[in-house]
Chains A and B, each alone.
Chain A
């Protein structure tokens, strides 16, 4: 099904978009819903995501990850971008367009590499918690409900996770 959707989107077929909505509509709503509390924002953001999927399908590389992961990344970034615009921050796209200095770019690369290494060293449970909190931007209440934990327990786990990451990333910071 996944390869069928990608093929149809690459060929510019409308049916590909229909299949994407059917198959991944729930996933897109779920990712956006954790970041944008307002229903209207979510609706608009969903349209943005579908548009980006249509336009950027060429950038999807199956060797780098699954289609659902790619779609998750698009949905997440679209929602975060919309949230920042609402809070009158610099939009994500604008940040990407700003050319960092050579020194900044090197430092950022190093920082990202260290973060990826630190994430790889985390146990699976902590890694998923990290993703929920910092990638999906889910609230503590949502994380707690979906993991069957109390909010206090989630806060405690996040506190320990932050401490661990700070220790692992100490040299970079």
Chain B
């Protein structure tokens, strides 16, 4: 049967009988968009703190609100304004989803987006209310109830309570009650529209609701994970490395001088001033099993400066997702960071780059055991090697000058290895392990009093 004939057959059949259980209330111009708006408001009102739903559901809610207002935008100017606001809110939310996922967490103060979101939510509720009142006015009728006004008041009361930040159980219960009340009030909107909703005008759309949800959701998902990968894997800008001449240090460190050829010649010149040295390659107090091989060098100069060099090397390449190197320097005397670098093999060449974000910090704090103020010196940096690199290795070099009465310069080297890129919205990177040398001591040799 041809398509037209079949259509004719269906039309003729329906002339004879109305369809069984015809639910006339299901076919309306307002039910779908208004329900989308109400569901959207419900999803943005409640949050669930599991499986990242506190991010996903409000975004979905904002998209639903956008779809609802989009359909009704030609009904009156209030709906149009609410539609524009819903576009802004959805775009704003999408930007936040992307910005908050990677390690940018905490760089933007929290109260600001919360306050702006609350203001936008209130504005949208009021616009929605005014839009519905205009629909009633068009039909020369008065709305039987005003649930949106009460929902707005509930939201205002909740906002005031949240701003005060009162941690009081009855208040929490009252807030949950208000939230439920506001949602129940919103659900009454649909019932109230039974009389006048048929006069609403639905605006044509270019993109179906499902397509909008799919594209917007997919785009945010791709950008979120893309940004995450970008921040998790940021290989440093590299230059081709050339081997330095460490032969002058063979007298002090023996065959371990082979490890020193990776250092720039300027650093080697500093170390060549040393009068004594010590190499530590096995760490009894440490936990390096399965981690990188670490070698500690200590060089003491004539004027009691001690240069400490930690060299690390992975047997198998695996450091792609922002590992962290950490050195804790025991607080005696003064010290400073000299430098740190990464080296790797790729395409038959050796490449080098500085360790990213390498910092030296010193802070005073109370020692809980000794009850005295101590100085904590820490060096931190981020280690990411490019994909396809082999023989991944690096070093951290720092110097310290112990007080005249000190004979020891203890330090500790730790390496946190991340197996996977950061998980979205996780404050602490998961899937990693920390390897440590434990405390490494170097006892100074007697030197003449200056």
Contact = CB atoms under 8 A, between A and B. Distances in A.
Contact of B11 (A134, A146, A148): A134
B24 A69 contact: yes
A165 B3 CA distance: 12
B409 interface: no
Contacts of B203: 145
Given A141-B204, A142-B202, A134 B14 contact: yes
A11 B352 CA distance: 97
A131 interface: yes
Interface string A42-70: 00000000000000000000000110110
B29 A27 contact: no
Interface in A144-171: 144-151, 153, 162, 165-166
A92 B21 CA distance: 22
Contacts of A72: 18, 22, 24
Contacts of B210: 153
A66 B205 contact: no
Nearest to A131: B27
Contact of B6 (A26, A120, A166): A166
Residue of B7, B10, B22, B139 with most chain A CB atoms under a 10 A cut-off: B22
A131 B205 contact: no
Contact of B16 (A112, A137, A145, A146): A112
Interface string A103-114: 000001001100
A66 B24 contact: yes
Contact of B25 (A68, A115, A142, A151): A68
B268 to A, nearest CB: 69
B87 to A, nearest CB: 15
B213 to A, nearest CB: 11
Interface residues of B, number: 46
A95 to B, nearest CB: 7
Nearest to A111: B13
A108 B198 CA distance: 34
A128 B202 contact: no
Given A80-B15, A108-B16, A148 B32 contact: yes
A148 B70 contact: yes
29 contacts: A26-B195, A26-B197, A29-B199, A30-B28, A30-B198, A30-B199, A65-B22, A72-B24, A73-B22, A112-B13, A112-B17, A116-B17, A119-B19, A132-B27, A135-B19, A144-B204, A145-B29, A146-B32, A148-B32, A148-B33, A148-B36, A148-B208, A150-B206, A150-B207, A150-B211, A153-B211, A162-B3, A162-B7, A166-B1
Interface of B: 1, 3, 6-7, 9-11, 13-29, 32-33, 36, 67, 70-71, 139, 195-199, 202-211
Interface of A: 22-23, 26-27, 29-30, 65-66, 68-69, 71-73, 76-77, 80, 92, 95, 108, 111-112, 115-116, 119-120, 128, 131-132, 134-137, 141-142, 144-151, 153, 162, 165-166, 173
Given A27-B198, A65-B22, A111-B13, 8 more contacts: A22-B195, A76-B18, A135-B14, A135-B19, A146-B28, A149-B209, A165-B10, A173-B9
